[in-house]
């Protein structure tokens, strides 16, 4: 597990200018490895979401460099970043952001239609345990189910990285664990490098590494000796 997928060098991010400037990131150096499951922990405003968005090509840093394998993301333009997201990254957000006018299967197909080596929508949904809810619209699914569709949609392209921002934030613990199980399955079975943001320390147990953010810097990096299974978690 030494193949580096992401490498950042002195990444900073400043919002606004002058007196109003907010320094969201103050020099982040980090490497993420292939197949690794990393949990980013920290209170709100600590910079973890900003960092994840920069890794995913949704945002660009103010300073420093970001590499995805050999590619320097910080040199790509909007079209390059779109392609990067399209071909390599899967996203899961706190709010599921499903397309209400498309069924579960169609929401996943949205991605598989434009991906290079996708799973079938059915396989992706089976992976997250929704094989039986293929033709339901978002309005007909529970919150946990909707989030699992979002996970299926994120991994259906077989991305090299899966970035999850508070995927359980809007869910109760039982449904939250079901979603984490889905993420865990993908990480294990597809070997997808996974970064997961949470402010819920209880989730840290399922990670290979736990990176704690505070005030725009990395405060601590901890390697778990043994990963817990998602169903063993509790909060």
- Footprint on this chain of another protein (rule: CB under 8 A): 49, 53, 56, 58-59, 78-79, 82-87, 89, 91, 93-95, 97-103, 106-107, 109-111, 113-114, 135, 137-140, 153
Smallest Cα–Cα separation from 11: which of 234, 218, 225? 218
Nearest distance in Å: CB 195, another protein? 15
CA distance linking residue 124 with residue 103, whole number of Å: 14
Nearest distance in Å: CB 58, another protein? 5
Q: Judge contact between 156 and 119, C-beta under 8 A.
A: yes
Nearest distance in Å: CB 75, another protein? 18
Looking at the Cβ atoms of 168 and 233, the one nearer to another protein is 168
Smallest Cα–Cα separation from 49: which of 4, 93, 95? 93
Looking at the Cβ atoms of 124 and 210, the one nearer to another protein is 124
CA distance linking residue 132 with residue 138, whole number of Å: 14
| Degrees, nearest 5: CA angle 120-125-130 | 150
CA distance linking residue 168 with residue 200, whole number of Å: 9
Nearest distance in Å: CB 231, another protein? 28
Looking at the Cβ atoms of 83 and 120, the one nearer to another protein is 83
Looking at the Cβ atoms of 134 and 228, the one nearer to another protein is 134
Looking at the Cβ atoms of 24 and 180, the one nearer to another protein is 24
Nearest distance in Å: CB 88, another protein? 9
> Cβ–Cβ contacts within 10 Å for residue 14, how many?
15
């Amino acid at each position: 597990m030494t193949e580096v997928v992401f490498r950042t060098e002195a990444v900073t991010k400043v919002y606004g200018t002058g007196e109003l400037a907010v320094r969201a990131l103050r020099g982040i150096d980090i490497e993420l490895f292939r197949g690794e499951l990393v949990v980013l922990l920290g209170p709100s405003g600590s910079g973890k979401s900003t960092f994840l968005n920069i890794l995913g090509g949704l945002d660009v840093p103010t300073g420093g460099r970001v590499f995805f394998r050999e590619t320097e993301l910080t040199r790509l333009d909007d079209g390059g970043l779109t392609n990067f997201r399209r071909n390599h990254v899967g996203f899961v957000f706190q709010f599921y952001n499903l397309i209400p006018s498309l069924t579960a299967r169609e929401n996943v197909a949205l991605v598989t239609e434009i991906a290079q080596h996708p799973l079938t929508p059915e396989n992706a949904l089976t992976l997250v345990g929704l094989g039986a809810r293929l033709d339901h619209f978002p309005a007909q699914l529970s919150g946990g189910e909707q989030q699992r569709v979002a996970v299926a949609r994120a991994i259906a392209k077989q991305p090299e990285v899966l970035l999850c921002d508070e995927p359980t934030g809007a869910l109760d613990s039982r449904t939250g664990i079901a979603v984490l199980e889905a993420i865990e399955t993908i990480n294990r079975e597809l070997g997808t490098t996974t970064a997961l943001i949470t402010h819920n320390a209880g989730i840290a147990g399922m990670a290979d590494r736990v990176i704690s953010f505070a005030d725009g810097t990395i405060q601590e990096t901890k390697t778990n000796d043994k990963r817990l299974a998602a169903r063993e978690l509790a909060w």
